[in-house]
Amino acid sequence: MPSWIDNALDLHAQAIAVRGRRAEILASNLANADTPGYKARDINFRDVLAQARGGSTLHTTSERHFTSASSGLGGGEIVYRTPNQASLDGNTVETQVEKAQFGENAVRYQASVNFLNGSIKGLMLALRGE
């Protein structure tokens, strides 16, 4: 595939992949909301996408930012979410927060799909000479 096609589609394709992986992680958090000792996980979309594109990552400047955990997702880090209110059984999943994050991620996933579709349509028009 020519590099100009890669350039036109690459960002949106990577964004879709990262958002898809994030949806899996958030769904896992919701599924384990009642599991004692389960630690809510997430990924920092901007950091993972920057790493995928070969850029630099952001650094935390506050104790309320995500904290490091295990690596995953092609060089990106899966991080543990710091709860607003800790539960007695050690579970850090806050159902309302997870549902809000899942919903926001779903909307952004759909936006990335729409952008990718628009880019493909634009390339098809250009290839046809219209």
The answer to whether the pTM exceeds 0.75 is: no
Structural domain tally of the chain?
1
pLDDT at 109: 95
| CA–CA separation, 96 and 30 (whole Å) | 9
For residue range 97-123, list pLDDT tens digits in order: 999 999 999 999 999 999 999 988 988
Under DSSP, the state recorded for 36 is T
For residue range 40-81, list pLDDT tens digits in order: 999 987 787 777 666 544 455 665 555 444 333 444 578 998
pLDDT of 4 higher than 70: no
Range of the structural domain that residue 33 is part of: 3-128
Cβ pair 84, 97 in contact under 8 A: yes
